[in-house]
Amino acid sequence: MFSKSCQYAIRAVIYLTAHGREGQNTGVKEIAEALQVPQQFLAKILQELVRHHLLSSVKGPNGGFFLSEKNLKMSLLEVVECIDGKAVLTSCVLGLPQCSGVNPCPLHHQFVTCREGMREMLVNKKITEISADLLPQVSRF
């Protein structure tokens, strides 16, 4: 359901939550190697998260990325909407531009229920919760 960019963003944020050490920045190279994703692609994604204040960064030779206390309180929805946009949870499941409540596609009414459930889950799941739930698995991704 989410783009590859969004999946990388979520994984990177979870990685930083699990491996970040207070007062220490993590470089994009380390994150990319740990997640086995292209470094340049990940760098652009991380910068987008920084621009939206969902991730913090420091420039320079000792620079890198980290999660502030405020960042740790963000919901998964904030990351998803930052990377994939708000339309990911509002657009037609079949991609039909004319689909709406007035002019529904064949899957509209069933998908509305799924979409609302997904939105609720994303709003209520904080990054720290996901990281805690995944902690045993984080070292493998």
Domain boundaries, the chain: 4-136
pLDDT at position 55: 95
Q: How far apart are CA 87 and CA 92, in angstroms?
A: 9
Mean pLDDT of the chain: 88
pLDDT-derived band of residue 24, with 50, 70 and 90 as boundaries?
Answer: confident
Q: Which residues make beta-bridge pairs with 56?
A: 66
Measured between its terminal Cα atoms, the distance across the chain in Å is 19
> Would you say 49 and 57 are in contact if contact means Cβ atoms under 8 Å apart?
no
Q: Which helix (H) or strand (E) holds 66?
A: strand 64-66
The secondary element (H helix, E strand) that includes residue 61 is none
- SS3 percent helix, strand, coil of the chain, rounded to 5, is 60, 5, 35
What is the torsional sign of CA 81, 8, 27, 38?
negative
Whole-number Å distance between alpha carbons of 26 and 15: 10
Q: What is the mean pLDDT of residues 18-36?
A: 86
- Rounded to an integer, the average pLDDT of 17-45 is 89
The pLDDT value given to residue 1: 76
The model's pLDDT over 80-133, given as tens digits with 9 standing for 90+, comes to 999 999 988 888 989 899 998 899 999 999 898 898 999 999 999 888 877 766
pLDDT of residue 136: 53
CB 93 within 8 A of CB 116: no
CATH architecture assignment, domain 4-136: Orthogonal Bundle (1.10)
* pLDDT number for residue 126: 85
